[in-house]
Structure 1
Amino acid sequence: MISPVGRKLAVLPLLLLPLGALAACSSENAQTDCTVNACTVTFDRGVEASASILGVKAELVSVQGQNVTMRIGGQQITVPAGEGEQAEGFNVSVQSVTQENVVVKISNGGG
């Protein structure tokens, strides 16, 4: 039988897990909204913008019309708005492109 103190100590790491996941994300000229397996990143346009998410660095390289060029880890890809590609083991899809920002969803599971 587990004592009440032992039970509380066993639950503590589970309660702290979301805090560790949030602390693992960082960004420059970008905002992130992450879950365990995916992040939505809003990159500011006209500046160098990047985010470290899900253990990889994602950088906005350029935007040509509705085509977004990004560097995910060491791989550069171009993704049209509304479509997706795979890079470095991640699914990368461009959600929207505006004059102010680019919204990209990056999730685990790419081949």
Structure 2
Amino acid sequence: MTRRTSPPFSSAPRTAGVVAALALAATVLAGCSGEGASTDCGLDACKVTFDRNLDASASVLGVDAKLVGADANGVTVEVAGEQLTLSVDQPDAQAAGLYVSLDSLDDSKAVVRIGRNPRS
């Protein structure tokens, strides 16, 4: 009697998929950069902390973001070439298919959230 056996399962395709997913995640996270700003990025959103006393800008999620101005009530930012005026309590604005909101504002910094989904 001849017995047919199937080849042992290979984990190479699964391992390659995991490696590719990790490489993509690292690329997305490394894609956040700034000047006069710091970024904290996840897969679908970034919080950009702009220094109010500098010409601050950052590149996040494939777009450029710049702090244009700030006063006691809010900020004006430029995201993907569109100027938006934001205050802390207002709903998200949209620019280039991304949602933009002002998380916090004080005398030295403005924290702006830029994401693919509205904040919840």
Deviations 1:24-48 (A, max 9, x none): 1111111111112111111111101
- SS of the residue aligned with 1:65? coil
Report the aligned-residue RMSD: 1.7
Structure 2 regions of 5+ residues with no counterpart?
1-7
Give, in angstroms, the shift of residue 2 of structure 1.
4.5
Alpha-carbon distance between aligned partners in 2 of 1:7 and 1:90, rounded to the nearest angstrom: 32
Paired residue total? 110
- SS of the residue aligned with 1:43? strand
Give, in angstroms, the shift of residue 77 of structure 1.
1.1
Match of 2:32 among 25, 39, 45: 25
Match of 2:58 among 51, 56, 64: 51
Q: Do structure 1's residue 13 and structure 2's residue 20 form an aligned pair?
A: yes
Q: What TM-score does the superposition give when structure 2 sets the normalisation length?
A: 0.82
Structure 1 regions of 5+ residues with no counterpart?
none
Contact 2:29-2:43 at 8 Å conserved across structures: no
Deviations 1:21-80 (A, max 9, x none): 122111111111111211111111110111100110010000022220000011111111
Q: What TM-score does the superposition give when structure 1 sets the normalisation length?
A: 0.88
Q: Do structure 1's residue 106 and structure 2's residue 114 form an aligned pair?
A: yes
Q: Which has the higher strand share?
A: 1
What is the identity percentage for the equivalent residue pairs of Structure 1 and Structure 2? 41
